[in-house]
Amino acid sequence: MLKPRLLCVVGTRPEAIKVSPVVLELRRYSDVIETILVSTGQHREMLAQALGAFGLQPDEDLDIMQHGQTLSQVTSRALEGLDALIERLKPSMILAQGDTTTTFVAALNSFYRRTPFGHIEAGLRTDTIDNPFPEEFNRRAAGLVADLHFPPTQWAAENLIKEGKDTAKIFVTGNTGIDAVLATGHKEGGEWYPEHEGRIVLLTTHRRENWGEPQQRIARAALKLVDEFSDILLVVPMHKNPQVRELLTSIVGSHERIKLIEPPDYAEFVPLMKRSTLILSDSGGVQEEAPAFGIPVLVLRDTTERPEGVKAGTAKLVGTDEERIYDEGRKLLSSQVAYDKMAHAVSPYGDGAASARIRYVVLNFLGIDSPQVKMWE
């Protein structure tokens, strides 16, 4: 009898980081299920780096990316490529994570092909369908067709329930990003900037809605912080997008205490987070990962689909206003009381067992027994 076949579909670096622990967990049960890792290639180089940190590489690569593609072209190429793969492999189920174009395409293909779909990190929401763009639409669309929803927190689960999703299909797992960061955080890695005896502030900014003027304001605020605090080294991993690189280089590229670096792979990025005193970021994953190490995060967005961290006090929304970013950063860098209040807040995002919970639910859905893990609360 043939084993059930499961496709885990990824396209970007964050997806690779959050899906890798699930793939590794499922492959522990390779005697009862075949787990195939599929890459659309939406972020080719950064995706390969992230998978490599977990010793993984794609079993199938759709290789969709071409220079200068529009969002519509990325979507159509991924849709056609994945459809052909589903036709050939005939999976029993498809898993995808989060809110990317790859996730949307995986969900839509699953629906068209009448193949069960499981949505990892389901239920994250903002108030408007185009903020963030296009991620809010992507995750809502994925939720419409999912047979299994894996919200990371109770708040995310409640969003799904409010939308009328069947509670029998909702399983609160914790966030697989915590599985990834805890698995990676204990590994020995090279020390970042051992010659610098002061503090490090880490800045990551890549979201489409922050391109242009918002990123200019972010960069100017970060520059002010470096100028005010003489012990600060600002480290900026630069996104591959040429517009982002040119803008950041023009504003902060010539300062002696600002390091513009290539995006480190995940195994290198985790030690960089741990080495940092403060993180300024518009990344969703960083909002979840940094609190696991007690690092405060100033979120460079006006809204977040991860309000649990803001509520718990591990993160603070500051938007892209230059003065507000500077003021909030200055407060944390100059007041030990303010800093400790955020650094010592308890992370609400998980305990490192989300992948095992997903494995149990998926195998049970496919009629396969495996060890049960209590759901995250």
Active site residues: 99, 121, 135, 206, 208, 239
Q: Which strand (E) or helix (H) includes residue 317?
A: strand 315-317
b/e for 70-91, b at 16 or more Cβ within 10 A? eeeebbebbbebbeebbeeeeb
| Of 105, 102, 139, nearest in space to 124 by CA | 139
Q: Which strand (E) or helix (H) includes residue 231?
A: none
**113's tokens:** 């092909």
Q: DSSP E strands: which ranges in 40-79? A: 60-61
d(CA 143, CA 165): 8
Beta bridge partners of 38: 9, 60
Residue 200 to residues 234, 274, 283, 322, 324: CA-CA distances in angstroms?
Answer: 6, 10, 18, 20, 20
Q: Decide: residue 15, CB within 10 A, 0-12 exposed, 13-18 middle, 19+ buried.
A: buried
d(CA 117, CA 12): 19
d(CA 303, CA 315): 12
Residue 64 to residues 69, 74, 242: CA-CA distances in angstroms?
Answer: 10, 7, 19
